[in-house]
């Protein structure tokens, strides 16, 4: 018999930014690194004979929790990867819901009927994960091993072991980041000892404690955003109103706000690249704006966020991070290695927000009302 610990990776960008991450190779978040610390302590005194991981960065980084206290080589394999999401890769979940809601419900609730361009079928996923687990169990017969993999991959495997059909997959809850399952494998016989256990995480480090989508019957998050280009020439008033509201929220007045200059600047940038200005939408309702300067910081390998704005009724719902996620996706695809932005020294709330998501102060500049803090985040 072989004992196998199945471990889901720590919180990664897709989990935080609410973007699809199948084979998309995103990084671990700040909370994810703290989850890894707790996972390391959980396995500190557990005997292990071997360690395997998906070759995707979020899984490999999570596997460092095991090597912290165990002198084991890490063996990576693409056979432990997440399901390939095809044309959905790195798209916002809100966009997927808006354009292909039926397919999204299939993915969450009946994955055998999920079928989008370029995706891996559920049957192929089950075959892949069962095959590698049985193969490794035979290779390490009589030993204890750990495998670091991904949410849908582990869920598909557990469903196959429990004899749960695709239509009933909701009987297996989604697993929290770094959740652990333990199985015993003896030949073709597989016993589940426990699954999806996140007891090593305090509630403040649980990804699921910050989200509600996994509790929904259809698995859809009502607060996932989608993004669509905004034409500042056709929507001049909307742009100016949003920028003015953002200014007033920081400074308490519109003194120093030069609407015409800011609008002309964004129009100039828009003519060079229409993707510099995007509306964040919940369904057909405006939730915010994100304005990117495609050239500023380019020589330093940085992308620049000029405006990150949420409509007042959507503030305080932890949605602003999805605007940051859009910026990360955009500038990473252009080969940039960091994000930069200015924050008023007086805007303590915004400074705290950006710091909590990995931005660090790298300098100061003079603004209209005092100093602006220059912040940067590695991407």
**pLDDT beyond 90 at 222:** no
| Percent of the chain clearing pLDDT 70 (strictly above) | 100
* Per-residue confidence (pLDDT) for residue 220, from 0 to 100: 77
* Per-residue confidence (pLDDT) for residue 269, from 0 to 100: 95
- Listed in sequence order, the residues at least 6 apart from 99 whose beta carbon sits closer than 8 Å to its beta carbon are none
Strand partners, 376: 340, 360
Token pair listed for 326: 């859009």
* Per-residue confidence (pLDDT) for residue 96, from 0 to 100: 97
CATH class belonging to 2-201: alpha beta
Q: Which of 203, 46, 111, 106 is nearest to 7 (CA)?
A: 46
Average pLDDT over residues 262-282: 96
Instruction: Compute CA distances 183 → 154, 222, 229, 254, whole Å.
Output: 12, 34, 48, 62
Mean predicted lDDT score pLDDT of the chain? 95
Average pLDDT over residues 138-165: 97
Positive or negative, the Cα torsion across 188, 189, 194, 196? positive
User: pLDDT-derived band of residue 217, with 50, 70 and 90 as boundaries?
Assistant: confident
**pLDDT beyond 80 at 216:** no
**pLDDT beyond 90 at 51:** yes
Average pLDDT over residues 81-85: 98
CATH class belonging to 226-378: alpha beta
Q: How far apart are CA 14 and CA 89, in angstroms?
A: 10
Average pLDDT over residues 168-178: 93
User: pLDDT-derived band of residue 214, with 50, 70 and 90 as boundaries?
Assistant: low
Q: How far apart are CA 348 and CA 344, in angstroms?
A: 8
Average pLDDT over residues 65-78: 97
* Per-residue confidence (pLDDT) for residue 94, from 0 to 100: 96
* Domain ranges across the chain: 2-201, 226-378
Instruction: Compute CA distances 234 → 238, 240, 310, whole Å.
Output: 9, 12, 20
């Amino acid at each position: 018999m072989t004992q196998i610990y199945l471990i889901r990776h720590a919180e990664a960008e897709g989990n935080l930014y609410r973007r699809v991450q199948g084979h998309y190779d995103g990084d671990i978040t700040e909370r994810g690194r703290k989850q890894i610390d707790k996972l390391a302590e959980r396995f500190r005194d557990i005997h292990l004979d071997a360690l395997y991981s998906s070759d995707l960065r979020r899984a490999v980084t999570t596997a460092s929790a095991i090597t912290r206290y165990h002198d084991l080589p890490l063996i990576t394999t693409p056979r432990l990867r997440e399901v390939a999401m095809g044309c959905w890769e790195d798209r916002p979940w809100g966009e997927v819901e808006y354009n292909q809601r039926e397919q999204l419900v299939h993915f969450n609730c009946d994955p055998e009927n999920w079928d989008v361009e370029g995706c891996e079928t559920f049957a192929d996923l089950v075959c892949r994960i069962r095959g590698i687990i049985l193969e490794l169990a035979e290779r390490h017969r009589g030993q204890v091993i750990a495998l670091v993999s991904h949410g849908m991959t582990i869920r598909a495997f557990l469903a196959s072991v429990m004899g749960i059909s695709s239509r009933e997959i909701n009987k297996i809850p989604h697993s929290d980041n770094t959740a652990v399952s333990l199985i015993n494998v003896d030949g073709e016989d597989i016993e589940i000892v426990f699954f999806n256990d996140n007891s090593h995480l305090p509630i403040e480090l649980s990804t699921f404690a910050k989200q509600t989508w996994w509790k929904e019957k259809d698995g859809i998050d009502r607060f996932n955003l989608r993004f669509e280009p905004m034409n500042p020439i056709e929507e001049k008033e909307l742009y100016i109103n949003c920028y003015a509201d953002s200014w007033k929220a920081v400074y308490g007045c519109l003194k120093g706000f030069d609407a015409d200059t800011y609008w002309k600047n964004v129009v100039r940038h828009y003519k060079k690249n229409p993707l510099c200005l995007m509306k964040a939408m919940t369904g057909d309702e405006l939730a915010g704006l994100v304005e990117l300067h495609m050239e500023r910081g380019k020589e330093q390998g940085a992308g620049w966020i000029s405006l990150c704005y949420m409509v007042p009724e959507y503030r305080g719902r932890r949605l602003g991070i999805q605007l940051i996620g859009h910026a990360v996706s955009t500038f990473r695809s252009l080969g940039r290695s960091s994000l930069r932005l200015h924050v008023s020294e007086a805007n303590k709330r915004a400074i705290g927000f950006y710091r909590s998501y990995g931005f660090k102060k790298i300098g100061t500049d003079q603004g209209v009302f005092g100093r602006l803090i220059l912040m940067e985040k590695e991407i």
